[in-house]
Amino acid sequence: MAQFNIHFFKEKNRKIDLEQLIVFFENIEGYKVQMDEASVRILFTHPRLNYKVKYLITPKSQVPDIYRLNPKFLDLNFHLEVPILTPNYVAEQIFDTAKKIADKFDFAIYNEMFEDVLTFKMDIVLKVFSMLKNAYIEKNPMILNDYFYLNTDRLNAIYRYLDDFQELQKYYQDLDTYVPKYHFLSTNNKKLGLGIEWREQTMTLFPIYTDYIFYHIDHQIKVYDANDVFELIEKYLIDVPGFIKGTKVIPKKVCKKVHKLIKKAKLKELDDQFKRAELRYLIDL
């Protein structure tokens, strides 16, 4: 897969305080440092979303057309490689770390799409990354056969929920409220659907963009269209404080009433055939 590269430069000298750089990475969750005679490799695996990137310090420059760049900036032979199909939500977190590095160590940056070396400006980096990702997909349309396309706002919300899932669980544990995982499902028409499980008589959190609800009742699992469920119970739900708008939860005082409504309504059960989809095949443009 193609990579998006950020090369690090420094004005008038090539000095990297390697010891301090390693300390910087070791203090961030998900980073691991490997070293040998050929290179220094700083590998990152997102601790909750499992996307991977790497920083490399190499013996020789990896910058194309380096001689056309402003000579006052010297290449540090240090660069970041981000797979071009990385979702924007994850890419923003990775670039945020890269910006902190640039700010802390007075590094400038360069990418092949820049006119020259420049100070780290997040809006420019994100714009160029998105532009190159879109161009890569346009040139390689067949890759979309394996992916599910979502708009950026929707995918950002999904990843935010997954990223904060453990914190939400901790918060609601004392409130006896169930925080469900998303089930990523491929439907009959090869579109992505998001399902959650909901057990009878339980206070439950409903993440945004839920499509299907697997309702556990009387030792059965009934599959409902989430829109049908929410139309029935929405007025009893409350917002999750300080979280994504549209994420709802059942408060204790109405829990029994809500479940009585579900039971009485006799909602239409779905018989769709689902296949499990993988998180790594979600993509935004």
Residue 1 has pLDDT above 80, yes or no: no
Q: To 10 degrees, the CA torsion angle through 128, 130, 131, 133?
A: 120
150 and 284 Cβ atoms separated by less than 8 Å: yes
**pLDDT computed for residue 224 by the predictor:** 96
Higher pLDDT, 81 or 65: 81
**pLDDT computed for residue 274 by the predictor:** 87
Paired residues of 215 in beta bridges: 198, 222
d(CA 54, CA 163): 20
pLDDT in tens, 224-268: 999 999 999 999 999 999 999 999 999 999 999 999 999 899 899
With bands split at pLDDT 50, 70 and 90, how would you rate the model's confidence at 65? confident
Mean pLDDT to the nearest integer, 160-176: 94
Mean pLDDT to the nearest integer, 59-84: 94
**pLDDT computed for residue 165 by the predictor:** 95
Domains, the chain: 3-145 (3.30.310), 153-276 (no CATH)
d(CA 280, CA 9): 32
The model carries a pTM of 0.91
205 and 168 Cβ atoms separated by less than 8 Å: yes
d(CA 112, CA 114): 6
With bands split at pLDDT 50, 70 and 90, how would you rate the model's confidence at 191? confident
3-state helix, strand, coil in the chain (%, to 5): 35, 30, 35
Q: Which two tokens stand for residue 278?
A: 């993988």
Assign residue 281 a region: left if phi > 0, alpha if psi is -120 to 50, beta otherwise?
A: alpha
Give SS3 for 198: strand
Residue 37 has pLDDT above 90, yes or no: no
pLDDT in tens, 79-95: 999 999 999 999 999 99
Residue 102 has pLDDT above 80, yes or no: yes
**pLDDT computed for residue 38 by the predictor:** 84
Supply the mean pLDDT for the chain. 93
Paired residues of 118 in beta bridges: 109
